[in-house]
Structure 1
Amino acid sequence: MRLFVLAGLVAGLLAPTVSAQQNPGGSLAPPPKFFARDLLALCEGAEGSPRLAGCLRYLQASVAMYEMAVAEKELTWFCAPREAPAVLLRQQFVEWAKENADQMGQEAIQAVRLAMTDAFPCQE
């Protein structure tokens, strides 16, 4: 349940105004997909910019969500330091993205998992 609440909070931070997405029938249109290339564009924002802030928040929330999923399912995808600063997560994601340009078409959350798995492998 906590996983869904956290995912909802992340989506709320990144989603545009809901009323702008309504169609004439009054139902909500699905939000656009958020791809790895979109996250990379945010992460390449200028220091102090809202784009960079969005990147850092997305990465922190993604890592927190995976930590919760791992705890509940006894899975291990990556072992990022518990208090890893957002700038470290950003650095790792941007480096991974530049080395894996062919992966930029997948959803951002999957790209974050792959980047963090490369950057922070778990010790057996």
Structure 2
Amino acid sequence: MEELLRYHSIVDWIAFDRVATEDMEIGGQAVRAGEGLFVLGAPANRDHRVFERPDELDVRRGTRNHVAFGYGVHQCLGQNLARAELEIAYRTLFERIPGLRVVGDDDALPFKYGGVIFGLHALPVAW
């Protein structure tokens, strides 16, 4: 579940928008006092310094150091409920329909990336 959350974070903007209170440099980029900053979670979850082969989905990875639910004091209060819901829903789905499989090419799945929330437009399945 954690790898799915890391790889397919449903939200890119993770509510870390801030305004610089003084001139600074972040990652080689000058930021002036008064300028706004937006922190994006999806690229953070693909950081090669944190995750080996970050652009590969590896359900055996087992890492929980992603930022799908934010970080530090800015973490989602409902993250434990969301994890439980996902685990229960997927387990129940695959127990009740054990032959469930995606139909077609995974690379052709219609993802929506045009807004604040990401996901699939459709997921064709058969069993």
Larger Rg: 2
**Taking structure 1 as the reference length, what is the TM-score of the superposition?**
0.27
**Taking structure 2 as the reference length, what is the TM-score of the superposition?**
0.27
Q: Which structure carries more relative contact order (alpha carbon 8 Å, separation 6+)? A: 1
Q: Which has the higher helix share?
A: 1
Q: Which has the higher strand share?
A: 2
